């Protein structure tokens, strides 16, 4: 680091302290980071260098001397804060292999005994500390500020992989075990698809989704989030273990979720080889990782090496650099959704990123555009959030054209010209012209006819034709269409008209939960519709529900409840329900159809992987129909891995390591007594 004047260093240190605290708050409390981990680490590294150069400016409250805090503050927190028995520190990290060699040299100088390393994947989730007493889960705490954390036990007990009670040999009377709560990609995709369908803001990445879920006000909603857990550090008084790996293997035998990907290394060179192997292999995993943790394996040497104010001296984290691409921003489109939400979408010069060509990336809302200070013609950095969703993370200002202009966020609907509105508690702008905005009307029909809704043979082109002809304006109009009207459409013949009418007829038998989802009530996605249908049983009971009735249900918060109430209070909503009922649609749960086929799989959790002779959704429904539960990832509680063609190799390896039986489709049918 170049030498700077004492006055300039003081100013820069003060700025970096404030900026890092602000970014810590965005990351840990709001779960809305606005810079990447790599950018944060660069700022932290700069502050550490300046404090080393000018130690008189290094204060005890510096971010270099304490971990980031996820505590929202006692006044606004819904969780009780409990002191940690042992401080819950963070890890030092590096992006340079030379620093791993330095880490090894420091250990070699400090201890005389031989040592080995435990190499572990760094799961990208949110830290958790579990306490077991007498074999039962006593308490679950977040990292908090390292000295105390939020008690989230009421939420953690709904995560399937975390046992409330453990069994086995030599279980200490009381001990702590720490780890990470994370969201697998499959659950993240499902949750974000649900939020996108309901036009809620999607989570930026699985880590934010996991952290936000852990602080949900309604504990029962945790069951819908698909969270998982991996544990990696056992703590307690007089534990009977000599090595870290031995302690984890004991915890695995007690039924606790321990990573199947860890490996012992007898030298730092072996640890670096482990890093190199996983730098590519990690992209095939069903969950997000952001690095590798390397720990001294021998527990007596860990105690000898001790801690700094912020992190253990016996462990460090290698951080994977995010794969980025730099590409020009060509333009910004403004898309109007079926509920009127306006989403800015960046059009990019095509660029290769993580194996795919990226041309477009959502900018989410006006606040995000302002935060990035984005201009047309800018060269922008694009990453894939969780290796999945293209995301613009920054602008290369050195490449900004002199005449670059900020894109103007529209004040009126791009489709119908109605002035946009913005809810106080939401970041999105909306077109309020629900009944007359053409793009909203057509969007509702496309949603209504979708495969997961009414499954009617009406795609974008068909809806466009029917709307332009004036044949449809509200959803029930579909059920008044005649064969003659359909044949009158360009390109339609008798067979295509008959197929369309047959799909309309079949839609009258679609189950109530799908009808409810098809209505397109704002913020009511597929899973929420299922929850409402199970709870109320009929459209009439739901329409009569009060706000208090709604918010007591899992997965239903204030925003969703208010949206449901507004729909059934509106004349348009009431008229739509009345006419669809007259058209013969299912407006109540068919109790007979929902009876389980058997209880053969009662109490059993299955994970499916690969392709089957039926769709994966149908296979999951079959498991539930016989009393079983579906999970997205393997754990000690998994009864079977149901493997079809092209089953995931990582799942097969993990099942073998955990001793979980693997069955194929034929064996599964035998299990449930189905030919």
Q: What is the CATH number of the domain that holds 335?
A: 2.40.50.140
121 plus 268 within the same structural domain: yes
Taking the model in full, what pTM does it have?
Answer: 0.58
Say if residue 462's pLDDT is above 70.
yes
Residue 75 lies in a domain: no
Angle at 333 (CA atoms; ends 327, 336), nearest 5 degrees: 140
The pLDDT of 271-293, averaged and rounded, is 90
Q: Which of 21-30, 178-187, 249-258 has the highest mean pLDDT?
A: 249-258
Last residue of a domain, one of 298, 319, 340: 319
Say if residue 550's pLDDT is above 80.
yes
- Integer angstrom CA distances of residue 330 from 323, 342, 350, 393, 482: 21, 19, 10, 16, 45
571 plus 654 within the same structural domain: no
Residue 593 lies in a domain: no
Residue 257, burial from CB neighbour count under 10 angstroms (0-12, 13-18, 19+): buried
Last residue of a domain, one of 271, 295, 319: 319
Q: Which of 52-66, 280-294, 352-366, 620-634 has the lowest mean pLDDT?
A: 52-66
The pLDDT of 553-577, averaged and rounded, is 90
58 plus 115 within the same structural domain: no
Cβ neighbours around 407 below 10 Å, total: 17
- Give the pair of three-digit tokens for residue 542: 């739901």
Query: What pLDDT score does 222 carry?
Result: 76
Which phi and psi angles does 297 have, rounded to 5°?
Answer: -80, -35
Say if residue 456's pLDDT is above 60.
yes
C-beta separation of 166 from 254 below 8 A: yes
Q: Which of 215-219, 373-377, 608-612 has the highest mean pLDDT?
A: 373-377
291 plus 166 within the same structural domain: yes
Query: What pLDDT score does 3 carry?
Result: 63
Angle subtended by helix axes 185-197 and 526-536, to nearest 10: 80
Q: What is the pLDDT of residues 441-455, one digit of tens each?
A: 999 999 999 988 999
Q: What is the pLDDT of residues 177-218, one digit of tens each?
A: 999 999 988 888 888 877 776 667 777 778 888 888 888 777
More confidently predicted of 323 and 16: 16
Q: Residue 618: pLDDT band by 50, 70, 90 thresholds?
A: confident
Last residue of a domain, one of 375, 400, 425: 400
Question: Strands, DSSP E only, in 152-248?
Answer: 174-182, 228-235
User: Mean pLDDT of all residues in the chain?
Assistant: 87
Q: What is the dihedral of CA 538, 541, 543, 545, to 10 degrees?
A: -140
259 plus 330 within the same structural domain: no
Distance CA 670, CA 675 (A): 7
Question: Which domain range does residue 246 map to?
Answer: 81-319
Which phi and psi angles does 291 have, rounded to 5°?
Answer: 170, -170
Task: Identify the active-site residue in 17, 97, 109, 122.
Answer: 122
Distance CA 131, CA 85 (A): 10
What 3-state DSSP class applies to 3?
coil
626 plus 514 within the same structural domain: no
Indicate the number of domains in the chain: 5
139 plus 28 within the same structural domain: no
Distance CA 580, CA 571 (A): 14
Q: Which of 335-339, 406-410, 580-584 has the lowest mean pLDDT?
A: 335-339
Query: What pLDDT score does 1 carry?
Result: 52
Query: What pLDDT score does 53 carry?
Result: 85
310 plus 338 within the same structural domain: no
C-beta separation of 553 from 217 below 8 A: no
Residue 420 lies in a domain: no
Q: What is the pLDDT of residues 478-531, one digit of tens each?
A: 999 999 999 999 999 999 999 999 999 999 999 999 999 999 998 898 878 988
C-beta separation of 140 from 129 below 8 A: yes
DSSP letters spanning 542-578: HHT--HHHHHTSTT--HHHHHHHHHHHHSHHHHHHHH
373 plus 518 within the same structural domain: no
Residue 145 lies in a domain: yes
Residue 589 lies in a domain: no
Residue 587 lies in a domain: no
Say if residue 386's pLDDT is above 60.
no
Distance CA 421, CA 425 (A): 12
Q: Tell me what percent of the residues of the chain surpass a pLDDT of 90.
A: 51
User: Which CATH number fits the domain that encloses residue 614?
Assistant: 3.40.50.10190
Say if residue 30's pLDDT is above 70.
no
Distance CA 442, CA 425 (A): 27
337 plus 265 within the same structural domain: no
Q: Residue 73: pLDDT band by 50, 70, 90 thresholds?
A: very low
Residue 595 lies in a domain: no
Exposure of 49 in the CB half-sphere (CA atoms within 13 A): 11
192 plus 265 within the same structural domain: yes
User: Which CATH number fits the domain that encloses residue 189?
Assistant: 3.30.470.30
Exposure of 503 in the CB half-sphere (CA atoms within 13 A): 17
Query: What pLDDT score does 71 carry?
Result: 61
Say if residue 601's pLDDT is above 80.
yes
306 plus 159 within the same structural domain: yes
Q: Residue 32: pLDDT band by 50, 70, 90 thresholds?
A: low
Q: Residue 593: pLDDT band by 50, 70, 90 thresholds?
A: low
C-beta separation of 291 from 123 below 8 A: no
Q: Which residue has the tokens 């300046």?
A: 50
Length of the chain: 675
Residue 268 lies in a domain: yes
The pLDDT of 591-605, averaged and rounded, is 76
Query: Could you confirm whether 122 is annotated as catalytic?
Result: yes
Q: Tell me what percent of the residues of the chain surpass a pLDDT of 70.
A: 92
Query: What pLDDT score does 75 carry?
Result: 38
């Amino acid at each position: 680091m170049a030498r700077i004047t004492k006055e300039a260093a003081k100013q820069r240190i003060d700025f970096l302290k404030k900026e890092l605290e602000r970014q810590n708050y965005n990351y840990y409390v709001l779960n809305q980071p606005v810079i990447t981990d790599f950018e944060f680490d660069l700022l932290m590294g700069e502050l550490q260098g300046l404090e080393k150069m000018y130690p008189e400016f290094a204060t005890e409250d510096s971010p270099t001397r304490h971990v980031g805090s996820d505590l929202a503050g006692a006044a606004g927190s819904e969780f009780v804060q409990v002191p940690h028995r042992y401080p819950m520190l963070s890890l030092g990290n590096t992006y340079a292999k030379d620093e791993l060699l330095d880490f090894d040299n420091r250990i070699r100088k400090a201890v005389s005994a031989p040592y080995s390393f435990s190499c572990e994947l760094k799961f990208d989730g949110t830290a958790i500390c579990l306490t077991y007493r007498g074999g039962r889960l006593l308490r679950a705490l977040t990292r908090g500020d390292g000295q105390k954390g939020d008690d989230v036990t009421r939420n953690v007990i709904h995560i399937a992989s975390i046992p409330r009670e453990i069994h086995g040999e030599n279980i200490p009377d009381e001990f702590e075990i720490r780890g990470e709560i994370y969201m697998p990609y499959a659950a993240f995709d499902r949750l974000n698809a649900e939020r996108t369908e309901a036009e809620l803001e999607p989570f930026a990445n699985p880590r934010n989704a996991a952290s936000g879920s852990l602080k949900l006000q309604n504990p029962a909603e945790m069951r819908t989030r698909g969270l998982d857990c991996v544990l990696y550090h056992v703590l307690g008084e007089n534990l009977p273990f000599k090595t870290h790996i031995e302690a984890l293997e004991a915890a695995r035998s007690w039924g606790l979720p321990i990573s199947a990907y860890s490996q012992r290394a007898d030298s730092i060179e072996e640890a670096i080889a482990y890093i190199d192997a996983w730098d590519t292999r990690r992209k095939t995993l069903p969950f997000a990782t952001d690095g590798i943790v390397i720990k001294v394996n021998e527990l007596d040497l860990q105690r000898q090496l001790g801690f700094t104010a912020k992190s253990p001296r016996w462990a460090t984290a290698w951080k994977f650099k995010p794969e980025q691409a730099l590409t020009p921003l060509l333009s910004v489109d403004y898309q109007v959704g079926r509920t009127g939400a306006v989403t800015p979408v960046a059009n990019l010069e095509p660029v290769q990123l993580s194996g795919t060509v990226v041309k477009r990336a959502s900018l989410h809302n006006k606040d995000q555009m302002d935060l990035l200070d984005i201009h047309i013609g800018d060269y922008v950095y694009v990453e894939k959030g969780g290796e999945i969703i293209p995301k613009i993370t920054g602008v290369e200002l050195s490449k900004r054209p002199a005449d670059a202009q900020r894109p103007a966020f529209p004040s009126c609907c791009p489709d119908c010209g109605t002035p946009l509105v913005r809810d106080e508690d939401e970041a999105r702008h909306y077109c309020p012209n629900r009944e007359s905005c053409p793009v909203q009307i057509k969007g509702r029909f496309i949603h209504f006819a979708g495969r997961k809704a009414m499954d009617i043979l009406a795609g974008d082109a068909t809806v466009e034709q029917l709307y332009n002809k004036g044949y449809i304006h509200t959803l029930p109009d579909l059920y008044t269409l005649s064969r003659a009207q359909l044949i009158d459409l360009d390109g339609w013949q008798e067979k295509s008209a008959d197929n369309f009418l047959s799909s309309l007829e079949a839609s009258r038998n679609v189950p109530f939960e799908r009808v409810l989802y098809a209505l397109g009530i704002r913020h009511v996605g597929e899973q929420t519709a299922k929850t409402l249908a199970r709870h109320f049983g009929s459209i009439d009971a739901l329409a009569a529900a009060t706000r208090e009735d709604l918010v007591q249900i899992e997965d239903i918060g204030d925003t969703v409840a208010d949206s449901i109430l507004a729909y059934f209070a509106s004349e348009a909503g009431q008229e739509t329900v009345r006419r669809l009922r007259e058209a013969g649609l299912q407006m109540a749960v068919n109790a007979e159809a929902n009876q389980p086929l058997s209880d053969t799989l009662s109490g059993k959790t299955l994970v499916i992987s690969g392709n089957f002779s039926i769709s994966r959704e149908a296979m999951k429904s079959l498991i539930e129909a016989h009393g079983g539960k579906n999970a997205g990832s393997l754990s000690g509680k998994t009864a079977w891995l149901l493997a079809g063609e092209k089953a995931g190799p990582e799942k097969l390896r993990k099942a073998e390591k955990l001793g979980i039986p693997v069955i194929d489709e034929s064996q599964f049918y035998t299990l449930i007594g189905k030919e």
